[in-house]
Chains A and B, each alone.
Chain A
Amino acid sequence: MPEVPLGDAGTPGAPRVGVVTFPGSLDDRDAAAAVRLAGADPIPLWHGDSDLHGVDAVVLPGGFSYGDYLRAGAIARFSPVVGAVVAAARNGLPVLGICNGFQVLCEAGLLPGALTRNSGLHFICRDQRLRVETSSTAWTGAYTAGEEILIPVKHGEGRYVVDASTLAELTAQDRVVVRYAGGNPNGSVDDIAGVCSENRRVVGLMPHPEHAVEELTGPGTDGLRMFTSVLGGLLRAAL
């Protein structure tokens, strides 16, 4: 909703999920709304601030950070906030990179591979079927491996590329998190839509789970569980 602030007073005891705003972030309010729907407090994080304000998890949202000049995500990786996120992620902080956020995570070296121009050379916005390949990540615990879900994609540079040996490693380690089903919209290698880090805490994906959290505004609510997954993990960790 237009003028709702990114963060609000918050619910006592609720997990705090940081949502980063870069200049050029577009889906930051949307990600914050999804976090709130999932039952957590969204905490706005500013690109120029290296303080993560004690959040329990971080979402890097979609958009065109810093105009995506040079290459998508190439400038954002040098921002103070991403520096802090990289350090925290290596210590186990759950991080979800959506679309541009995925591109940033690859540029920052938290995830392998790179996102290049779609094979069709057009921006594509469509409701996309995906297959969840693994439920053992910080962000997919609420899904069943093999489950098909429907989530929008919207990007011009979403073609996942990675060298053969890393691809073999990703596959062997069960680190391909989601694959495109029923048609590959961008020419990604092996139909890969999202991958995770070795410690399985950092997930990056091109589709937008935050746009499938309400029947009214999305193709369904399949995306909501990505946010409840991480909350479940946080609550279990707190017990």
Chain B
Amino acid sequence: MTGTPSAPTTSQPYRELGLTDDEYERIVATLGRVPTDAELAMYSVMWSEHCSYKSSKVHLRQFRDTPATDRLLVGMGENAGVVDVGEGLAVTFKVESHNHPSFVEPYQGAATGVGGIVRDILTMGARPIGVLDPLRFGAADAPDTSRVLPGVVAGIGGYGNCLGLPNIGGEVVFDPVYAGNPLVNALCVGVMPVGRVQTSAATGVGNAVVLLGAKTGRDGIGGVSVLASATFDAEGGPARRPSVQVGDPFIEKILIECCLELFDRGLVVGIQDLGGAGLTCALTETTAAGIATGQPGGMDVDLDLVPLREASMEAHEVLASESQERMLAVVTPDVLPEVLALAERWGVHATRIGTVTDSGRLVVRWHGEVVVDVPPGSLADDGPVYERPLRRPADLDLLHADAPTALVRPGTGAELRETLLRMVASPNLCSRAWVTEQYDRYVQANTVLAQPEDAGVLRLSASGLGIALATDGNGRYARLDPFAGAQLALAEACRNVAAVGAEPIAVTNCLNFGSPEDPEVMWQFAQACAGLAEACRRLGLPVTGGNVSFYNQTGATPIHPTPVVGVLGLLPDVSRRTAMAFTGAGDTVVLLGETRDELGGSEWAWVTHGHLGGTPPAVDLAQEKSLAEVLVAGGRDGLFTAAHDLSEGGLAQALVESCLRGAHGARLELPADADPFVELFSESAGRAVVTIAAADLDRLAALCASHGLPWRPIGAVTAAADLEVAGQFTISLDELRTAHEGTLPRLFGSTA
């Protein structure tokens, strides 16, 4: 049925497309001939780092060994993992990066990052119900940050708000290492009836292949190979702007509604979103997945049927285009008219572009000629895999030796007071309201908690069943120790989810690193993967999917290794969630966990001394587990009137946030033998503050004892409008609020 495509005889520009000599040889060997231009373009994008995970694959395999719990319906390798949450509902969630485009064109880069992860969730069969955005920027006062951050935030809001997705959490972190490489990660979560989980496999010989959504244009060509799989050079920005896609959230919104109705009516055999590498990726992955089922498979595609924005596009451009808001569906011929009519009702373009065959090959025609004839697995699954060389960074011992113990610490009450005010106003600890007020957190009417709470909480059903989500990651910790840094990211995300009362049940991750061709970066990556996988095993949590973003570096300077971990938690009854606000004057403030002198990589060291050195806080996964269990049990039993996790900025930061949120004061009595500075600013892991009615102290004592968790009362919530540390200092809530809330508006302008 296929003629051999006519191949060019001149030498091919494979290097310009990002392929190595070896990779090109391998393509020729696979095909038994020189590839056509269209085939070469397809291999170049599918074998790019972004699509093939060629450098990370050998390390990511460890995540497959994380515990497969009873809840896990779909694990790693699909568009997103799926977990059974009970009541016949399944939840799917995943975090992805859109870092490089967001530096080049902040608004569109961030907007299409949201659009892409939303389509991943939709592809699983789920209605998207929320997003979270972990963000990293250069120094808050750096000139370029005032270009990148407002654009990114507006893009996330502009796209997510128009889709009707509540934005319920995420992070905003500033550090000079991200100046040329901001990180824009986006997590989306969706829900569906358990029976509606979709597959991407193109099966059923004779079935129709339908392209849904926007027309295909020249935007985003080479996005994955040229942009996301290479390092920025000093002049790299503007010249690459055509590689950034442009989004239209309205088209995505009607595409979502259209697809959900297709799923509900059972009209879809297989479905795949078009993201990085566009049609190339969707066609090869659906065809390869179809063949992998063991049934006869293959696909014939007539590229001339693809609706184009520009008539002059070439075949390889149509195949590589990353135009947004498109989905590929496989449907049986008898329902094709119904599918097309349904799409028309929603105003969504739908075009049959191909047919499932039994040839075992993906064949693409263009202007009557066969331009592609390939075994799809060679593109989708059998790409190159590299065991890149690893080398422990040469400066790591020096960094470890440069411990924060040598830094001058505040000694007097007045100095502690001044330090605290400076800390709560610092870019990484100040109020995020400037950012989060630009996101709709209410739409869909099921948001129970959203930022600045420890985790976002969404109601799933009228019974009160709900989920909690949090993302965390501390690049400074990971710079000092990537193994521990990844574990601390997981521990903190679990802690945040548990603080609202939810039991952590599954993990997703977005691993943001420099160039894999740098052995020191690759060592950091290997360490982070090993650390995260081990911690997931110890905590009994499956990694259900994620994303790797390499080449986050400018010239030879990589970003801090930044593993961002997202944790999904389950709440049987969202009305029993615990919020962070101190609200009950007279309540006892209790510190759960142990405080040690741990300030390596801390916010205090950075804010007051510009220092990064020593080792990050110790990881104690057994204690993290105990803490989570206590937080979940206490929340469920109505023991806590408030709970807030301790992380960057330590106890002082947590108290300030809880006081301001609840407009209540607190009075702290530190133990006589304790160092008040360490008590207030240490970042020891495995800790949280909770408040309880004074009469419940015995109940709490019994709960903590049964889990072997250290705890101690440290003070009380007061009706006074100030935060007092007995014997040290008092600060009014007004002064704290002014310091905490003024920073981002001062840097980026007033929003109202």
Residues of B with C-beta under 8 A to A30: 442-445
* Among B248-256, B271-279, B649-657, B718-726, the stretch in contact with A: B248-256
Chain A's closest residue to B193 (CB) is A3
Q: Is the CB of B250 within 8 A of A69?
A: yes
Q: Is the CB of A23 within 8 A of B442?
A: no
Question: Is B667 part of the binding interface, using a Cβ–Cβ cutoff of 8 Å?
Answer: no
Which secondary structure dominates where chain B touches chain A? mixed
Chain A's closest residue to B163 (CB) is A26
Residues of A with C-beta under 8 A to B462: 1
Residues of A with C-beta under 8 A to B191: 2-3
Q: Please report the C-alpha to C-alpha distance between residue A120 and residue B745 in the assembled complex, in whole angstroms.
A: 12
Question: Is A27 part of the binding interface, using a Cβ–Cβ cutoff of 8 Å?
Answer: yes
Residues of B with C-beta under 8 A to A34: 445
Q: Is the CB of A124 within 8 A of B437?
A: yes
Q: Please report the C-alpha to C-alpha distance between residue A119 and residue B157 in the assembled complex, in whole angstroms.
A: 17
Question: Is B295 part of the binding interface, using a Cβ–Cβ cutoff of 8 Å?
Answer: no
* Among A104-112, A135-143, A164-172, A209-217, the stretch in contact with B: A209-217
Q: Please report the C-alpha to C-alpha distance between residue A5 and residue B347 in the assembled complex, in whole angstroms.
A: 20
Q: Is the CB of B443 within 8 A of A27?
A: yes
Within 8 A of B (CB), among A174-193: 183-186
A211 and B154 contact, Cβ closer than 8 Å, known pairs A1-B460, A122-B751: no
Q: Is the CB of A64 within 8 A of B250?
A: yes
CB distance from A84 to the nearest CB of B (A): 19
Contact pick for A154, options B193, B248, B251, B442, CB 8 Å:
B442
Question: Is A232 part of the binding interface, using a Cβ–Cβ cutoff of 8 Å?
Answer: no
Question: Is B366 part of the binding interface, using a Cβ–Cβ cutoff of 8 Å?
Answer: no
Give 1 or 0 for each of A124-152: 1 = CB within 8 Å of chain B CB: 11100000000000000000000000001
CB distance from B315 to the nearest CB of A (A): 31
Within 8 A of A (CB), among B542-581: 574-575
Question: Is A118 part of the binding interface, using a Cβ–Cβ cutoff of 8 Å?
Answer: yes
Chain B's closest residue to A64 (CB) is B162
Residues of A with C-beta under 8 A to B460: 1-2
Which secondary structure dominates where chain A touches chain B? loop
Q: Is the CB of A24 within 8 A of B162?
A: yes
Q: Please report the C-alpha to C-alpha distance between residue A212 and residue B257 in the assembled complex, in whole angstroms.
A: 25
Contact pick for A216, options B192, B248, B443, B448, CB 8 Å:
B448
Q: Is the CB of A23 within 8 A of B254?
A: yes
Q: Is the CB of A125 within 8 A of B437?
A: yes
Give 1 or 0 for each of B305-347: 1 = CB within 8 Å of chain A CB: 0000000000000000000000000000000000000000011
Q: Please report the C-alpha to C-alpha distance between residue A23 and residue B752 in the assembled complex, in whole angstroms.
A: 29
Question: Is B597 part of the binding interface, using a Cβ–Cβ cutoff of 8 Å?
Answer: no
Task: Give the interface centre of B129, B162, B752 by most chain A CB atoms within 10 Å.
Answer: B752
Chain A's closest residue to B575 (CB) is A216
Q: Is the CB of A183 within 8 A of B752?
A: yes
Give how many B residues have a beta carbon under 8 Å from the other chain's beta carbons: 43
Q: Is the CB of B751 within 8 A of A29?
A: no
Q: Is the CB of B444 within 8 A of A125?
A: no
Q: Is the CB of A216 within 8 A of B250?
A: no
A211 and B445 contact, Cβ closer than 8 Å, known pairs A66-B250, A126-B437: yes
Give 1 or 0 for each of A16-42: 1 = CB within 8 Å of chain B CB: 000000011011011001100000000
A67 and B248 contact, Cβ closer than 8 Å, known pairs A123-B158, A123-B161: yes
CB distance from B261 to the nearest CB of A (A): 11
Residues of B with C-beta under 8 A to A218: 442
Residues of A with C-beta under 8 A to B742: none
Q: Is the CB of B253 within 8 A of A122?
A: no
CB distance from B53 to the nearest CB of A (A): 32
Residues of B with C-beta under 8 A to A33: 445
Residues of B with C-beta under 8 A to A125: 436-442
A29 and B445 contact, Cβ closer than 8 Å, known pairs A1-B460, A23-B346: yes
Residues of B with C-beta under 8 A to A120: 750-752
Task: Give the interface centre of B253, B437, B439, B442 by most chain A CB atoms within 10 Å.
Answer: B442
CB distance from A81 to the nearest CB of B (A): 14
Q: Please report the C-alpha to C-alpha distance between residue A159 and residue B393 in the assembled complex, in whole angstroms.
A: 55
Contact pick for B459, options A123, A154, A186, A217, CB 8 Å:
A217
Q: Please report the C-alpha to C-alpha distance between residue A223 and residue B23 in the assembled complex, in whole angstroms.
A: 62
A122 and B164 contact, Cβ closer than 8 Å, known pairs A1-B460, A30-B443: no
Residues of A with C-beta under 8 A to B129: 2
Question: Is A77 part of the binding interface, using a Cβ–Cβ cutoff of 8 Å?
Answer: no
Contact pick for A123, options B157, B346, B347, B575, CB 8 Å:
B157
Chain B's closest residue to A214 (CB) is B445
Q: Is the CB of A211 within 8 A of B442?
A: yes
Q: Is the CB of B752 within 8 A of A208?
A: no
Residues of A with C-beta under 8 A to B248: 67
Chain B's closest residue to A215 (CB) is B575
Residues of B with C-beta under 8 A to A123: 154, 157-158, 161, 438-440
Q: Please report the C-alpha to C-alpha distance between residue A233 and residue B163 in the assembled complex, in whole angstroms.
A: 34
Within 8 A of A (CB), among B446-470: 446-448, 459-462
Question: Is A94 part of the binding interface, using a Cβ–Cβ cutoff of 8 Å?
Answer: no
Question: Is A15 part of the binding interface, using a Cβ–Cβ cutoff of 8 Å?
Answer: no
Chain B's closest residue to A48 (CB) is B345
Q: Please report the C-alpha to C-alpha distance between residue A68 and residue B250 in the assembled complex, in whole angstroms.
A: 8
Give 1 or 0 for each of A197-228: 1 = CB within 8 Å of chain B CB: 00000000000101100101110000000000
Q: Is the CB of B161 within 8 A of A154?
A: yes
Residues of A with C-beta under 8 A to B251: 67
Question: Is B687 part of the binding interface, using a Cβ–Cβ cutoff of 8 Å?
Answer: no
Q: Is the CB of A24 within 8 A of B253?
A: yes
Chain B's closest residue to A21 (CB) is B257
Q: Please report the C-alpha to C-alpha distance between residue A120 and residue B437 in the assembled complex, in whole angstroms.
A: 12
Q: Is the CB of A24 within 8 A of B254?
A: yes
CB distance from B350 to the nearest CB of A (A): 15
Q: Please report the C-alpha to C-alpha distance between residue A6 and residue B439 in the assembled complex, in whole angstroms.
A: 25
Q: Is the CB of B253 within 8 A of A23?
A: yes
Question: Is B100 part of the binding interface, using a Cβ–Cβ cutoff of 8 Å?
Answer: no
Residues of A with C-beta under 8 A to B752: 118-120, 122, 124, 183-186
Q: Is the CB of B127 within 8 A of A3?
A: yes
Within 8 A of A (CB), among B155-196: 157-158, 161-164, 191-193
Task: Give the interface centre of A63, A185, A210 by most chain B CB atoms within 10 Å.
Answer: A63
Q: Please report the C-alpha to C-alpha distance between residue A34 and residue B443 in the assembled complex, in whole angstroms.
A: 13
Within 8 A of A (CB), among B412-451: 436-448
CB distance from B82 to the nearest CB of A (A): 15
Q: Please report the C-alpha to C-alpha distance between residue A216 and residue B346 in the assembled complex, in whole angstroms.
A: 33
Residues of B with C-beta under 8 A to A126: 437
Q: Please report the C-alpha to C-alpha distance between residue A184 and residue B751 in the assembled complex, in whole angstroms.
A: 11
Within 8 A of B (CB), among A52-84: 62-64, 66-69
CB distance from A163 to the nearest CB of B (A): 24
Show 6 residue pairs from A and B whose CB-CB distance is below 8 angstroms, ordered by the A residue: A1-B462, A2-B129, A2-B191, A24-B250, A63-B164, A67-B249
A-B CB proximity, top 4 nearest: A67-B250, A26-B164, A30-B445, A122-B751
Residues of A within 8 A of B (CB): 1-3, 23-24, 26-27, 29-30, 33-34, 62-64, 66-69, 118-120, 122-126, 152, 154, 156, 183-186, 208, 210-211, 214, 216-218
7 A-B pairs besides A29-B445, A214-B445 with CB distance below 8 A are A1-B460, A23-B346, A120-B752, A122-B752, A123-B440, A154-B443, A217-B442
